[in-house]
Every structure is written in structure tokens, then in C-alpha cells.
């Protein structure tokens, strides 16, 4: 944690009075800053500004090192629980064989099970562009296969020489 996002402590707090919470979590009330600092020194702890935007600011008497450690621990836990959504891509052709399509669909299912999104791209080459209906037939077959396992986030659309769609886990 850098100094910028740390709360102000002890003599860094420069306001005339603060709303004080003691080391046991009891609300003391609004007291002068000098009195709050002496109470913190008597307890051998720090005066930490918890809520600087309140009027008057809320300060708590606690061990600042332990407080900083707890905040860091919570931040690390939150970072662990984050799931980065990855976009995987499956490429198809309009002349794909039935078995090859089944294997590709199995891969899509495993990607969806891991929580990833999948972009399905069907690319045309040369004169295959004259038969976009074959491509749409394969894309519709893919939609039927994935109907109960995925939600369509981007419906199939023709973009130049390819048809693409995006699916995500249900």
C-alpha cells in the first residue's frame, strides 16, 4: 500500500475535533484532537482516521500495523476470488465433418464449464461465400447443441468472409 491511500494517523490528523471510537469499539463521542491523541498514547496505540469525509471525521484507537495488515489480507482475499473471464475461440469451416463438429462442441462445453466465454467463427474461403446458407446451417446446428449449456451473448452475424457468434456460460 502506498502512502497516498493509507489513512492519516496520530499527528497527521489536522482537524479541531473528531468523533472517537476507543480500542474496544465503544463510541466515545466528539472530542478535541489533543484529547483523542492523549487517550491513544495512554493505551499505547495509534489514532487512525477511519472515515475522513464524515463531519467531524471518525477516528479509532487501534494498532495501526495490525490494521494495515488486516486491510492487506482482505485485499488479497478479494483478489483471489476474482475470476478473469477469458474469451476462447473455436474456428469452423462450412465443409466440417459431423465428427469434427462434435469434437469442437465438446471443447466448447469444457470452456463453458470453466466459466470462459467462447467466440465461434465460421470462415469461408473462395467460392464458399456463394453458399453462406451452408454456413448458417452449421451455426444453427451449433446453437441447438449449446442451447441448454450456454447463453448467446452475440447472435450470429456475417462479417466479411466469416460468420461469428459469442456464447457464455449459463
The architecture CATH gives domain 3-80 = Roll (3.10)
Domain boundaries, the chain: 3-80, 87-169
pLDDT in tens, 75-125: 888 888 877 778 899 999 998 899 999 999 999 999 988 888 999 999 999
DSSP secondary structure string for all residues of the chain: --GGGSPPBGGG---SEEEEE-TTS-EEEEEEHHHHHHHHHHTT-EEEEEETTSSSPEEEEE-HHHHHHHHHHHHHHHHHH-----EEEEEE-TT--HHHHHHHHHHHHHHHHTT-EEEEEEE--GGGGGGHHHHHHHHHHHHHHHTTTEEEEEEEEEETTEEEEEEEE-
Give helix 132-146 / helix 98-113 axis angle, nearest 10°: 50
Q: Which of 63, 18, 60 is nearest to 44 (CA)?
A: 63
Write a three-state SS string for 141-166: HHHHHHCCCEEEEEEEEEECCEEEEE
Q: What is the pLDDT of residue 91?
A: 94
The domain made up of 87-169 is a member of CATH 3.80.10.10: no
Local confidence band at 51 (pLDDT 50, 70, 90 cut-offs): confident
Local confidence band at 3 (pLDDT 50, 70, 90 cut-offs): low
From residue 78, give the alpha-carbon distance in Å to each of 3, 72, 73, 85, 104. 21, 10, 9, 16, 34
| pTM for this entry | 0.54
Local confidence band at 56 (pLDDT 50, 70, 90 cut-offs): confident
Which grid coordinates are listed for 127?
A: 467460392
Amino acid at each position: 500500500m502506498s502512502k497516498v491511500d493509507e489513512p492519516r494517523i496520530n499527528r497527521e490528523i489536522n482537524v479541531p475535533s473528531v468523533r472517537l471510537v476507543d480500542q474496544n469499539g465503544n463510541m466515545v463521542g466528539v472530542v478535541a484532537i489533543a484529547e483523542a491523541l492523549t487517550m491513544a498514547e495512554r493505551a499505547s496505540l495509534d489514532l487512525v482516521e477511519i472515515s475522513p469525509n464524515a463531519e467531524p471525521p471518525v477516528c479509532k484507537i487501534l494498532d495501526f500495523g495490525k490494521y494495515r495488515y488486516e486491510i492487506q489480507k482482505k485485499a488479497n482475499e478479494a483478489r483471489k476470488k476474482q475470476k478473469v473471464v477469458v474469451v476462447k475461440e473455436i474456428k469452423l469451416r462450412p465443409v466440417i465433418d459431423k465428427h469434427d463438429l462434435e469434437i469442437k462442441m465438446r471443447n466448447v462445453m469444457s470452456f463453458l464449464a470453466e466459466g470462459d466465454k467462447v467466440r465461434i467463427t465460421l470462415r469461408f474461403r473462395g467460392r464458399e461465400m456463394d453458399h453462406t446458407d451452408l454456413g448458417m446451417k452449421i451455426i444453427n446446428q451449433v446453437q441447438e447443441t449449446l442451447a441448454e449449456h450456454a447463453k448467446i451473448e452475440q447472435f450470429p452475424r456475417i462479417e466479411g468472409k466469416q460468420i461469428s457468434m459469442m456464447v457464455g456460460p449459463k
